[in-house]
Amino acid sequence: MKPTQSDPTVQPVPAAVVETVDAADTTLSNPRWAVLALGANLGNRLETLQGAIDALADTPGLRVKAVSPVYETEPWGVEPGSQPSYLNAVALVKTTLPPSSLLERAHAVEEAFHRVREERWGARTIDVDIITYADVVSDDPVLTLPHPRAHQRAFVLAPWNDVDPAALLPGHGAVADLLTSLGHTDVTPRDDLELRLPE
């Protein structure tokens, strides 16, 4: 960090101290893999998914490394026929952001696409969930890791399995096995649609 020129109260930090602090901050040199699930069932769903992926890619400290195929999926957890169907996809990212900052960024992206939170599992322009962050396990309700319902959701497991067939869901096992037991229930690949990996 450089001292600001304009603030006379800020003392210059000796270069050796900066180096020591940076070296201790393992996140700077140690990006973590995270799996993000995206879903949209209002508005122009594909455009919104792409916009959300592009916005995530514009985040300092975050690189989008892979984007899954797109699936058309039946709304999960609600009365059948009560909501439009979703488009779902998964993005694999590498990030130096800590989990809490990644969640903040996910929420900022949702807000940018006018996500409204009214009811649980209500229809939405965009939802960005953190499915895993490295091998972190946490039961904090603000950020539960892995996502507590990911193992029950073919709309997460099917696209995740496509981009990472060897993936493991901490505490639950291989994604491929979870998907086999669950079946590709209510999820259909949309081979006519494609999300771009940001440059």
Query: What radius of gyration do the chain's Cα atoms show?
Result: 19
Q: Interior CA angle at 55 toward 60 and 131, to 5°? A: 85
75 binds, among ligand ATP, ligand PH2, none (CB under 5 to 8 A by kind): ligand PH2
Selected from 50, 88, 132, 161, the binder of ligand PH2 by CB under 6 A is 88
CA distance 71 to 190: 5
The closest of 181, 116, 120 to 152, measured between CA atoms, is 181
38 phi, psi to nearest 5 deg: -120, 140
Q: What is the nearest approach in angstroms of ligand ATP to the Cβ of residue 133? A: 8
CA distance 174 to 179: 9
Catalytic residue among 32, 45, 105, 127: 127
CA distance 153 to 176: 12
CA distance 148 to 138: 10
144 binds, among ligand ATP, ligand PH2, none (CB under 5 to 8 A by kind): ligand ATP
Q: What's the start-to-end Cα distance of the chain, in Å?
A: 28
Q: What is the nearest approach in angstroms of ligand ATP to the Cβ of residue 10? A: 35
Catalytic residue among 129, 135, 140, 192: 129
195 binds, among ligand ATP, ligand PH2, none (CB under 5 to 8 A by kind): none
Active site residue 127: yes
The footprint of ligand ATP on residues 98-117 (CB under 6 A) is 103, 117
Q: Which residues pair with 92 in a beta bridge?
A: 35, 66
3 binds, among ligand ATP, ligand PH2, none (CB under 5 to 8 A by kind): none
Give yes or no for residue 130 binding ligand ATP (CB under 6 A).
Answer: yes
Residue numbers at the binding site for ligand PH2 (CB under 6 A): 39, 73-77, 86, 88, 121, 127, 129, 155
Residue numbers at the binding site for ligand ATP (CB under 6 A): 103, 117, 120-121, 127, 129-130, 142-145, 147, 149
Catalytic annotation, residues: 115, 124, 127, 129
